[in-house]
Structure 1
Amino acid sequence: MKVNVNIDPNIKEDEIIISIKEMNTKVEKILSIITEEGANGVIPLQREERVYLVNPQEISHVFSEDNKCFAFRDKEKYRYKDTLKQFEERFRHNFMRISKYCVANISWMEYFEATFGGSLVVVFKNGEKEIVSRKYAKELKKALLKE
């Protein structure tokens, strides 16, 4: 992959041009970073009557429960206004789908446990646990081991 950067102090507005042969995961990650909503990249999370502006790196995982979306920041559970799918698309360079109902921050994963039923459980640095579905376990392993 070739990368060209042209710095010109005379231009009025920054412009990014990407020329590709075909779409791939690298380009998708680059696009998600470039097009990330909001200049500051913070996520509004609600808890009680307050709205907190949180950096994505502070969130261990986001999950869907009773048709509502929630995020864990440290050991606290917050309400996220959008859908899980929207969150995943917006922050796919930091988060990875681990089940139909959960996307997880890879940097918050501490270790994995196998259960008696053969399921895989991820344990986050904040002590929270989530089941990794078989459908996503292979992709997770590939991403973590860079295979």
Structure 2
Amino acid sequence: MKLLIDQSPDNEEVEITIKCGMIDPGLEKLIEQIRLYSFSITAKKEGRTYPISLSDIYYFESIDNRTFLYAEHEVYECGLRLYELEQQLTKTDFARVSKSCILNVRMLKSVRALLNGKMEAELENGEKVIINRHYVEKLKRKLGLAGGEKDV
């Protein structure tokens, strides 16, 4: 693999071109990371609007028909519904973990099994999120653990 970087004040924006024969799983992961880096969500806090990079978001949660996004130490309100976010984030590291929550799996520190097939995810910032049993297999697939009993 070659990596070419053309740094110049004449370049007005970052442009990434990938030339390849076939897209393998490793390249697919790289493409997902580029998408995650370059995509942001507009959110509000205290009457101000902010663009929040996907890489800074720990999870999205829906409460009383309002959607919130959680960063390391901040909470913002997002104008999108969870189903809209889920559609936009299909090829990223975000996974639906309950009816009311979409989690950034890059922020997972650990998971542990609970009763009734549920799991508890501990995030890098110490927060804990419950993974509903209906979403456990989907999360395992997202993590590349489908079919196995590996620890995360």
Give the TM-score normalised by structure 2.
0.66
Match of residue 103 from structure 1: 102
Q: Which runs of 5+ in 1 are unaligned?
A: 1-25
The answer to whether the Cα contact below 8 Å between 1:122 and 1:132 also exists between their aligned partners in 2 is yes
Match of 2:62 in 1: 64
Q: Which runs of 5+ in 2 are unaligned?
A: 1-24, 147-152
Q: SS at the partner of 2:51?
A: strand
Matched, 1:127 2:126: yes
Structure 1 residue 75, shift from structure 2 partner: 2.0
| In 2: Cα distance, 1:108 partner to 1:120 partner | 16
Q: Within 5 Å, which residues of 2 pair with 1:39-54?
A: 41-54=39-52
**Which consecutive aligned stretches of 4+ in structure 1 deviate over 2 angstroms post-superposition?**
113-119
Percent identity reads 28
For the aligned residues, what is the CA RMSD? 2.3
Shift of 1:141: 1.5
Query: Structure 2 CA distance, aligned partners of 1:117 and 1:106?
Result: 22
Once the 2 structures are TM-superposed, how far is the Cα of residue 134 of structure 1 from its aligned partner?
Answer: 0.6
- Kindly tell me the number of residue pairs found equivalent between the two proteins: 113
* 8 Å Cα contact 1:75/1:128 also seen in 2: no
Q: CA deviation at 1:107?
A: 0.5
Measure the CA separation in 1 of the matches of 2:93 and 2:47.
28
Question: Which TM-score applies when normalising by structure 1?
Answer: 0.68
Q: Give the 3 Å change call, closer, same or farther, for CA 79–107 of structure 1 in structure 2.
A: same
Tell me the secondary structure at the aligned position of residue 125 of structure 2.
Answer: coil
Alpha-carbon distance in 1 for matches of 2:104, 2:39: 15
Q: Which residue of 1 aligns with 2:12?
A: none
**Cα shift at 1:116:** 5.0
